[in-house]
Structure 1
């Protein structure tokens, strides 16, 4: 059993260590997982935010001492995630070049089959201040299911085709960074836009399904889940972020 930080209308937020909480969730009870794990970018560098030079350091949760430590972190949480995922469930993991290759390897090592490699192309990326690299304008989202012979994942092909003007949807999705209007409840350094999570949830779940986010942050996954009539569990070790997520969930209507 885990103690809820917040629980209302099929929405649950849990304050705690992701590894500890995942190990206490009943096995094979989750239909879909979306995870935006730490990118491990907090290395003392600088970046651009709203035209201002800012530090890339986000906190101790975003720091790691070696590749081995980073990869072990990814294997551990993905292994636990696999346990709570239903046989036909799927997992989506977002990341930049700094972490996504470790994530991809960890998925295969822990018994997953990668279904798609989604490229999220940002229309308004921050400029590269050093002028020594191409502007980082994309992130990768891996979609995977258990690599079991009898696994049959759900994919709402017809809806995705309809959204894409009657054509098969491709694995390159284009859109803006998170709008300021979606950050009204508080600031989180890596808040994902709501349209991105809405598409992911619509593509791979049905109404009433249970969605888990093990690094919930400011709660975008939960907001989209509630809006679309899905149940939700979010985990985070930072209470300040959970307060933002709680406020956003309270403001969203449950779509039965």
Structure 2
């Protein structure tokens, strides 16, 4: 493979075009993929951020090329992901209605086997400015395995015990009663497919932010649910590398790919802070 943009033990970043780079990754070498591909919704419209009206243009990489070409792009990188996944490997894809249905169809075409669709409910979602339709307050995550007959990794007990081991108790600030997290996931019971997790906290944006940055809490749950220590995790659209931080934190090996130098540099700053804190 080409020379890494940045490489440390168990954490490697590449600056590359994702579909092309996936051709260089050894076949059947990756245990899990988490992908947050472009939603192709940057269209000159506006959204609400921190109570202010802002442009939704996230970058040229998020500009739509039309339905047909957008789907061809998704189908190409998902095909590449199938090649590099181990037979029992799984893939997670995050998206909104702008992209997730195309990705789901591409998964079917490439003969993946669906495991779950997860609703990531965002209790602190921004309001809808137009007041003409419902406030968008969730994203969908599709979880699928490469081969239907293979046994994939699912750390069932970890998920059942999540409330006891991985999340501090949170009460509603208004009434002190159970919050969304506790309502949707009762302690000691099977975790449901609706996850109430806030969008990234301010501390997660210390070095800057990626326009589609995912919550650290979300990626911790994905990593601990579907991988084991020492597994190889790949993020083909790594952005600020929240996936990579979760992978490294829990003893997995990470490979991240992105075209944008500024986001790779952001990833490096975030990783080095985490690495330093882990050594203390």
Distance in 2, matches of 1:27 and 1:57, equals: 35
Distance in 1, matches of 2:240 and 2:68, equals: 28
Distance in 2, matches of 1:54 and 1:104, equals: 30
1:225 aligns with 2:224: no
**Superposition deviation, residue 58 in structure 1:** 1.0
> 1:248 maps to which residue?
270
1:187 aligns with 2:186: no
Distance in 2, matches of 1:116 and 1:192, equals: 19
1:102 aligns with 2:119: no
Query: Which string of whole-angstrom CA distances, capped at 9 and with x for unpartnered residues, describes residues 93-146 of structure 1?
Result: 000011000011110101101100000000110100000010000100000001
**Superposition deviation, residue 65 in structure 1:** 2.4
> 1:44 maps to which residue?
44
Q: TM-score, normalised by structure 2?
A: 0.89
Distance in 1, matches of 2:253 and 2:111, equals: 26
Could you say what secondary structure the match of 1:253 adopts? helix
- Answer whether contact 2:87 2:147 (CA < 8 A) is retained: no
> 1:113 maps to which residue?
113
Query: Which string of whole-angstrom CA distances, capped at 9 and with x for unpartnered residues, describes residues 167-202 of structure 1?
Result: 001000001111011001112101101010000000
Larger Rg, first or second structure (1 or 2): 2
Q: Choose the corresponding residue for 2:236, options 214, 224, 238.
A: 214
Distance in 2, matches of 1:251 and 1:2, equals: 26
1:26 aligns with 2:26: yes
> 1:157 maps to which residue?
156
Could you say what secondary structure the match of 1:211 adopts? strand
Distance in 1, matches of 2:40 and 2:212, equals: 12
Distance in 1, matches of 2:209 and 2:217, equals: 18
Q: Choose the corresponding residue for 1:200, options 212, 222, 237.
A: 222
* Runs of 4+, deviation exceeding 4 Å: none
Could you say what secondary structure the match of 2:161 adopts? helix
Could you say what secondary structure the match of 2:275 adopts? coil
Distance in 2, matches of 1:8 and 1:14, equals: 12
1:177 aligns with 2:187: no
**Superposition deviation, residue 40 in structure 1:** 0.6
- Answer whether contact 2:31 2:231 (CA < 8 A) is retained: yes
Distance in 1, matches of 2:111 and 2:147, equals: 5
**Unmatched 5+ stretches in structure 2:** 164-186
Q: TM-score, normalised by structure 1?
A: 0.97
